[in-house]
Amino acid sequence: MTLSPYYTVDEIAEMLHTHVETVRKWCRDGRLEGARKFGKDWFIPRTTIDPPTPQQKPIPLHEQKEPTV
């Protein structure tokens, strides 16, 4: 199973111990860089939350793949 390059609002809320509506507001306000809305769902790039490891380089937004739903 391949790890998705995106987190969901629910995953971010759980990781940051906050409410899903708070995360949705951050997405709407542009506070989570690269967050994209597809239909009613927001997807947040893992690179926005996870710091790159020394072996990884951040993926520029224009090179990131869109999530498949």
Angle at 16 between CA 12 and CA 17, to 5 degrees: 110
pLDDT tens figures, 4-55 = 889 999 999 998 899 999 999 999 999 999 999 999 999 999 988 876 555 5
Domain ranges of the chain: 1-49
Task: Give the model's pLDDT for residue 49.
Answer: 81
Strand partners, 60: none
Task: Give the model's pLDDT for residue 7.
Answer: 94
State yes or no: pLDDT of 59 exceeds 70: no
For domain 1-49, say whether CATH 3.90.600.10 is its number. no
Contact 22, 13 (CB under 8 A): yes
Task: Give the model's pLDDT for residue 48.
Answer: 87
State yes or no: pLDDT of 68 exceeds 90: no
CB-hemisphere CA count at 13 Å for 59? Answer: 15
Q: Does the reported pTM lie above 0.75?
A: no
